[in-house]
Each structure stands twice: as C-alpha cells, then as structure tokens.
C-alpha cells in the first residue's frame, strides 16, 4: 500500500523469500516496512480472569501464562487486551477480564527472519484475523458480534464486544455444521447466551449462512468503512479470503495483541507528547505574533498581561500543590479502607494449623467463609484432631462434617469448625480453596507417599 495504490498478491514456492523479493522488484514497489501476521492456528488466544488486586497487568499475566499454554511460557511472546464491562464499558472492579495472545518464540523468529532476508523493517507482528476490526466503523459498547472469515478450507471466528476482540478461534473445516458447532461451544468461553448479529467475509460460504439463518441469527456483511470498502474492491483475484486478510494487516493502524518484540517496535508518539508539541507550537506562534504586532500599544498590553500571569503564578502553583496533597490523601484513605474491608487473611490461620496439627496429619483442602473453616485431609488418628483444634483461640464447635473413612494407612477426614466469637467479627472470607495442591501441616512441605496429588484446577 502506498497512498491510493493497493497491490495484493500471493507468494508460494520452495523459497518464498526469493519469490517475494522478485515480486517486489517486478512490480516496482517502493516498500521499506512490512507488517507481518501469523495464522490463527499458530497462536494461542483465550480469555482469562485476573484477581482484583494491585499490580502490573503484564506481570500478573506472565505468572498465569504457564497454565494456559501448550509450550513453555519462557519461550512465549504475548500481549493482552483488557475486556470492558458490558454494562458501562469499563473494567469490572471485581476482577480483570483479559484476552491474551501468545506465540512460541520459534514461530516469531521465523516470521522476523522473512523480514530480515527481504531487507524490510518490521512494524508489527499480529494474528492476521485480529486486524479485521480495523476495517469496520465504530460499534456500540454492548454489541456482541461473531465474525466468520473464511480463507480456503479454514475459518477464523472473531467474537467482538463493541468492536473489541473477546475471543478468536480457528476451525480447520469449511463444513457448516462444524463452524456452527464451534460457535455454540465458544459462547460458553465468552459467557454469552447469544449474539446480536453474525458477519461473514472472505471466501463464499452460503452453507454457513443458511445454517445460521435457520437458527434465527442475523447474518450480514461487516459494516466496512468507505476507505476499507474501496481497498477491498481491489481484491478481484482468488484466494479472496487470504487476500482480504493481507489488506486488513497492511491497512491496520491500531493493531491489537501485538507480538512484535518491544525492541523492534517502531516508536509511536503518545498522547502526552502530542499535547506537549501542541503547546510548544502554540507558544511559538504567540511569540511570533507578539514580535510582529505593530505599535507600542500592543507591546505594552502584552507586557501587562505577562506581569499579571507572573503575579498569578505563585497562586496557581500553591493550588496545584494543594490538589496533589488532596489526591495523595484520597489514595491513602482508599488504601486504608481496602485494608479494613479485607482484614481476614489466610496466613495466620495456616500458621496456627501448622503448629496445632501433628506431623502425620495432611491437609488436601482448606476453605473458610464467614461462618467458619472446613478442613479435608488425612491423618493416622482423625479423632485426635478434634481436641487439638478446640484448643485454638480462633475456632470453636469443632466436629466431623462427614464420616471418617479408612484408607490404606491413613484415615480420610472432613472437619468443620466455627469462628470463635460472633460471625460479624469476620469482615471478609476466603471463598475458594487456598491452594489447589496438598498443604502439609508440618513446617517443611512434603507429600505423603500414600496420598495422591490433588488435581490442579483448569480453566
């Protein structure tokens, strides 16, 4: 792409780099940069939920990444998008809904090697179908849309909320039943009961359109912008689906889920830099106007204004300092309030249980709520745990919540205890297991040889 010129073609062969270099030379394309995109099947894309706690989102995702990737997270390049709340378009306070995209570093290096051998500077590396929303007009915040883009025998599914990618899938089949079934399964992942409309693009897919229409879904063409429609009209050759993806990748400006390494990304002017440049330009223009303004009267008036500004400057600075102190105190108050509303923490309870329980007792599950705490685990003599827990200053009314069963050399138990004192003293509760893996009661973590490991939770 260069101004109004659009050249779309497909390169194939044993040496695609040489073929691409030959095409560029034959068409006399004065290109210097290249936007790379990977097929959806080469990238892992899924929505995850982060806990509502302070911290850098990217660091939190890096800790969670290993549980969601089929390859080592150390070799992954990833990016994320914060999903807005469907009610008001903001991030929900109860937790951060994000969608992540991650690719194996070997795949990324292979794509970058193409740009290096063709001697073009890479400006982005994304998933090809993720650039399609850049071609449509702005959508309402709460609109839920499924976009089906077919390229050959595969179909990429985009699930959009207000134009933002909530999920993407790849279906390695062109059969209508398979595509429709994959859409229905994906509704569970994005927690949708349905969608407002379905958009289809790429290669013709009348069977999919008919199948979706039979299920009462509204199937239409994507609402392209006039510029995007004009560019897509230049695609007259086949395969149309692949060429439309190439147009979307080249035309995109705000590319979501960027996988290009940070060191190779082009520098972008931020909003703050634009504001600073605007103020600088305005200052220069005002200075030139003051210098060129004829007459001593205008010069005197400018001097008078500068004097007034100088007299007001201390007051403005004092007001700014007061506002900064007020904002700092407000953040401090919010922090104190959050600490008060989350006063109960599991660590003191775990420390006390570690001291009370004997070394032959093992906990596989620990959960607590406003009423009390429940322990599940194994011990040589489960009945001996009741008086030990009764001695705790935190617990009372300790009893078995289910019959004790005898294993190979241990007794399986489940004990329920209430908090000491009134239930209102507990301001918050741990509503899920503290850890999905077995928790030893001793000081040093160890696993009993007879106890099978607890299954890690899957999302």
For residues 6 and 230, the answer to whether their CB atoms sit within 8 Å is: no
The per-residue pLDDT for range 162-209, each reduced to its tens digit, is: 888 999 999 998 788 999 999 999 998 888 888 999 999 999 888 999
Contact assessment for residue 61 and residue 80, using Cβ atoms and an 8 Å cutoff: yes
436 pLDDT exceeds 50? no
pLDDT of residue 445: 39
Sorting pLDDT into bands at 50, 70 and 90, what band is 267?
Answer: confident
- Which of these, 8, 42, 45, 107, lies nearest to 256 by C-alpha position? 45
**Residue range 134-155: mean pLDDT, rounded:** 90
Which pairs from 89-97 meet CB under 8 Å and 24+ separation?
A: 89/141, 89/142, 89/162, 93/52, 94/52, 95/49, 95/50, 95/51, 95/52, 96/49, 96/50, 96/51, 96/52, 96/57, 97/47, 97/49, 97/50
**What pLDDT is attached to residue 133?**
92
Express each pLDDT in 16-25 by its tens digit.
Answer: 888 888 888 8
| Residue 17 pLDDT | 87
pTM for the whole thing? 0.57
pLDDT top residue among 386 and 437: 386
**Is the Cβ–Cβ distance between 371 and 423 less than 8 Å?**
yes
Q: What is the pLDDT of residues 337-393, one digit of tens each?
A: 765 555 556 788 888 888 889 988 989 999 888 788 999 999 998 888 999 999 888
Confidence grade of residue 442 (pLDDT, cut at 50, 70, 90) = very low
> How many other C-beta atoms can be found within 10 angstroms of the C-beta atom of residue 73?
16
Examine the pLDDT at 247 and tell me if it is beyond 50: yes
Which pLDDT score is estimated for 95?
63
At residue 408, the pLDDT reads 81
The model's pLDDT over 24-64, given as tens digits with 9 standing for 90+, comes to: 888 888 888 899 999 999 999 988 888 766 668 888 888 88
- Nearest by Cα to 291 from 306, 280, 281, 302: 302
Q: How confident is the model over 390-431, as pLDDT tens digits?
A: 988 888 999 999 998 988 888 999 999 998 874 443 433 333
Q: Is the pLDDT of residue 131 over 50?
A: yes
- Out of 88-92, 229-233, 311-315, least confident range: 88-92
Q: What pLDDT score does 450 carry?
A: 43
- pLDDT band at 235, cuts 50/70/90? confident
Q: Are 93 and 52 in contact (CB under 8 A)?
A: yes
Residue 54 pLDDT? 65
Q: Where are the domains of the chain?
A: 16-264, 275-340, 346-440
- CATH superfamily of the domain spanning 16-264: Protein of unknown function DUF3822, C-terminal domain (3.30.420.260)
Q: pLDDT of 67-120, one tens digit each?
A: 888 888 888 889 998 887 654 444 444 567 889 999 999 999 999 998 899 899
CB-based contact 205:155 (threshold 8 Å): yes
What is residue 446's predicted lDDT score, i.e. its pLDDT?
39
């Amino acid at each position: 792409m260069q101004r109004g010129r659009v050249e779309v073609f497909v390169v194939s062969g044993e040496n695609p780099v040489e073929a691409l270099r030959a095409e560029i030379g034959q068409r006399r394309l004065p290109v210097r940069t290249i936007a790379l995109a990977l097929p959806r099947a080469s990238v892992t894309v899924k929505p995850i939920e982060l806990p509502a706690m302070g911290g850098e989102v990217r660091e939190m995702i890096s800790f969670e990444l290993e549980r969601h990737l089929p390859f080592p997270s150390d070799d992954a390049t990833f990016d994320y998008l914060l999903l807005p709340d469907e009610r008001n378009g903001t991030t929900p306070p109860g937790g951060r809904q994000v969608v992540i995209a991650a690719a194996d570093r070997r795949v990324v290096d292979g794509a970058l090697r193409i740009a290096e051998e063709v001697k073009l500077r890479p400006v982005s590396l994304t998933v090809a179908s993720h650039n399609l929303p850049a071609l449509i007009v702005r959508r309402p915040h709460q609109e839920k849309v499924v976009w089906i883009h077919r390229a050959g025998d595969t179909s990429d599914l985009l699930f959009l909320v207000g134009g933002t990618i909530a999920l993407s899938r790849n279906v390695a089949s062109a059969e209508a039943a398979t595509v429709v079934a994959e859409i229905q399964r994906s509704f569970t992942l994005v927690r949708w009961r349905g969608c407002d409309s379905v958009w289809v693009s790429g290669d013709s897919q009348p069977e999919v359109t008919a199948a979706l229409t039979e299920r009462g879904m509204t199937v239409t063409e994507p609402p392209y912008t006039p510029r995007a429609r004009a560019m897509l009209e230049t695609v007259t050759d086949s395969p149309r689906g692949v060429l439309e993806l190439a147009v979307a990748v080249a035309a995109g400006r705000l590319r979501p889920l960027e996988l290009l390494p940070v060191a190779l990304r082009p520098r972008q002017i931020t909003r703050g830099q634009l504001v600073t440049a605007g103020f600088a330009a305005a200052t220069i223009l005002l200075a030139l106007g003051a210098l060129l303004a004829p007459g001593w009267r205008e010069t005197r008036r400018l001097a008078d204004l500068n004097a007034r500004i100088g007299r007001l400057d201390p007051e403005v600075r004092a007001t700014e300092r007061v506002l900064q102190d007020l904002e700092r105190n407000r953040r401090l108050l919010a922090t104190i309030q959050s600490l008060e509303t989350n006063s109960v923490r599991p660590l003191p309870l775990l420390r006390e249980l570690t001291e009370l329980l004997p070394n032959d007792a093992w906990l596989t599950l620990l959960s607590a709520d406003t009423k009390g705490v429940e322990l599940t685990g194994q011990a040589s003599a489960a009945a001996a745990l009741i008086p030990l827990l009764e001695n705790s200053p935190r617990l009372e009314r300790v009893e078995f919540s289910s019959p004790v069963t005898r294993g190979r050399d241990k007794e399986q138990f489940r004990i329920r205890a209430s908090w000491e004192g009134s239930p209102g003293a507990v301001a918050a509760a741990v509503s899920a297991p503290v850890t999905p893996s077995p928790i030893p009661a001793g000081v040093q973590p160890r696993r009993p040889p007879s106890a099978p490991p607890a299954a890690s939770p899957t999302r």
